[in-house]
Amino acid sequence: MPTQIDEEARINVRVKGPMAAHLRAVIGPQGLYENQSEYIRDLIRHDMAEQEPYDLEVGLLEGYAQLATGDYRKRPMSEIIERAEREMREEDNA
């Protein structure tokens, strides 16, 4: 079972001008977010999601390089699907 990492990071940021105006527009009763922390967490989630396609691209390039050099092993498709399903279940439970 994966272990949960109990780390915490605190940030304190001052913004001025257009950035402060933007924060006022998106946070509060008329905004999309109830508070600043919720907005920052959403920004971080979006940034993390943007990193995933890059990781996929790197993995694909590594795979093509292995194929070109013959550095791979053959596996039955059922084994590949089973492993992918197991990894997806583990991600959902994390």
> Distance between CA 37 and CA 44 in Å, rounded?
11
List Cβ neighbours of 34 (8 Å cut-off, separation of 6 or more): 27, 28
> Distance between CA 45 and CA 83 in Å, rounded?
26
* pLDDT for residue 21: 95
* pLDDT for residue 54: 74
* pLDDT for residue 75: 83
pTM, whole model, 2 decimals? Answer: 0.51
Q: What's the pLDDT tens digit per position in 65-89?
A: 999 998 888 888 998 899 899 988 8
pLDDT at 1 over 70: no
Q: What's the pLDDT tens digit per position in 11-48?
A: 999 999 999 999 999 999 989 999 999 999 999 999 98
> Distance between CA 28 and CA 34 in Å, rounded?
5
3-state secondary structure of 61: helix
Question: Which helix (H) or strand (E) element contains residue 53?
Answer: helix 36-69
